[in-house]
Amino acid sequence: MISAMAEAGYGTASIAELVLPDGWSPIRRTLAIEAFGVNAWTAAEAGAIVIQEHDESSGHEELYVVVNGRVTFTVDGNNIDGPAGTLVFVRDPNLKRGAVAVEPGSTVLAVGAKPGEAFHPMSWEENAAILPLFGEGRYEEAKAMLVDALGRYKTDRATLIYNLACTEARLGEREEALQHLAEAFEERPDLRELALTDEDLESVREWL
Which run of H or of E encompasses 25? strand 24-25
CATH number of the domain to which 176 belongs: 1.25.40
Is there a domain that residue 118 lies in? no
Q: How many domains does the chain have?
A: 2
What pLDDT does 57 receive?
Answer: 86
- Backbone φ, ψ for residue 89 (5° rounding): -110, 125
Range(s) of the domain holding residue 177? 123-207
Regarding whether 106 and 25 lie in a shared domain, the answer is yes
User: If DSSP codes are grouped into helix, strand and coil, which group holds residue 194?
Assistant: helix
Counts of helices then strands in the chain (DSSP H, E): 7, 11
Q: Residues 195, 197, 203, CA angle at the centre, nearest 5°?
A: 75
At residue 96, the pLDDT reads: 97
Instruction: Give the pLDDT of residue 146.
Output: 97
Q: What per-residue confidence (pLDDT) applies to 153? A: 87
Domain end residue (candidates: 113, 131, 146): 113
Query: Which backbone phi and psi does 197 adopt, to 5 degrees?
Result: -125, 0
Q: Are residues 143 and 103 located together in one domain of the fold?
A: no
pLDDT value at residue 121: 87
Strands 61-68 and 87-90: antiparallel
Select from 49, 80, 113 the last residue of a domain: 113
| Element spanning 179, H or E | helix 174-187
Below-50 pLDDT ranges, the chain: none
Q: Are 89 and 16 found together in one domain?
A: yes
Residue 182 lies in a domain: yes
Whether the Cβ atoms of residue 86 and residue 35 lie closer than 8 Å to each other: no
- Quote the pLDDT of residue 120: 87
CB proximity list for 63: less than 8 A, separation 6 or greater: 87, 88, 89, 90, 110, 111, 112
